[in-house]
Amino acid sequence: MKAKSIFFYPLLPFRVIWFIWILIWFFITGIIAFPINIVVFNIFKGKRKVLITFFVTKWWGKILMAGMGIFVRAKGTEKLDKKQTYVLVSNHLSMVDIPVCMGSCPVPFSFLAKKEVDKIPFVGYLARNMHVYVDRKSPESRIKSMDNMRKHLEEKGSIHLFVEGTRNKGPEALKKFHNGAFSLAIEAQKPIAVLVIIGSEKTINPNYSFQASPGLPIAVWTEPISTEGMTSADLSKLSEMVRERMLSVLKAHGRA
């Protein structure tokens, strides 16, 4: 696949310059948001901490994306009940999916974050205080992260998982799903809210290092799926329901 068919802006020199600008803009906005979050993390606890941190991070994400020339078109946000706690799941195409999720989601939530995120300035600090970590190479860490996510749903609010586990770098519409999100939703008896991200790979594509472009990704929220009454025997059924829903949205937008 040629770069010309991927990026919103096709010229290579522009994409490299734009990537450098994104790094600069990230640090500028991060320096402003960082002290605000330090204050929030040290004053507030529990659900209030998650709510205020989400509000700050949401607006940081919107300002960050505006400076990056990325403007998200969110659809279906009215389908989520702001008083409900969800297990949020989405596909994963690009590094910008994190601010896309934060900017488009109408309910406060935390991410299941990879341990590697801890090394990223600002983001690592946020992840330690707001999100749930998992070391994908450690079975013990996976078990602990499931326990932490269950507690988070009970005590703090919704949690988001990229259901493919990592960014989709291949030609297929969706990678194989991991079962963690579905097990969590069934055990906690929480509905699954499905987000389909379209076009974010046209901004920062994982197959092209040190290149970026402005873009207009779409974030489509579908009707939440109830897990009430489901058991572990329904795990595959639930996974297939989510896959079919995602594929339906991708097909409607010419991506499957």
pLDDT of res. 140: 74
In the chain, where the domains are located: 3-252
Cβ count within 10 A of residue 52: 18
For the record, the structure tokens of 158 come out as 């919704």
pLDDT for 208 equals: 93
Tokens read off for 45 = 């606890």
CA distance 69 to 151: 37
Residue closest to 160 by CA, chosen among 168, 172, 152: 152
pTM of the predicted structure, to 2 decimals: 0.89
Map tokens 């790094």 to a residue: 23
For 58, the token pair is: 């949401």
Please tell me the predicted confidence (pLDDT) of residue 136: 65
* Tens digits of pLDDT across the chain (256 residues): 333 457 877 789 999 999 999 999 999 998 888 888 889 888 988 788 888 888 888 898 899 999 999 999 999 999 999 999 999 999 999 999 999 998 899 999 988 877 777 777 667 777 777 777 776 666 776 777 788 888 888 888 899 999 998 999 999 999 999 999 999 999 999 999 999 999 999 999 999 999 999 999 999 999 999 999 999 999 999 999 999 999 999 999 998 7
The CA distances from residue 49 to 36, 40, 53, 145, in Å, are 12, 7, 6, 20
pLDDT of 149 reads: 85
Q: What are the DSSP calls for the chain, one per residue?
A: --GGGTSSS--HHHHHHHHHHHHHHHHHHHHHHHHHHHHHHHH--HHHHHHHHHHHHHHHHHHHHHHHTB--EEE-GGGS-TTS--EEEE---STTHHHHHHHH-SS-EEEEEEGGGGGSTTHHHHHHHHSEEE-TT-HHHHHHHHHHHHHHHHHT-EEEEETTSS---SSSSS-PPPSHHHHHHHHHT-PEEEEEEESGGGTS-TTSTT----B--EEEE---B--TT--GGGHHHHHHHHHHHHHHHHHHTT--
| pLDDT the model gives residue 2 | 35
Domain 3-252: which topology? Glycerol-3-phosphate (1)-acyltransferase (3.40.1130)
Residues 6+ apart with CB under 8 A from 83: none
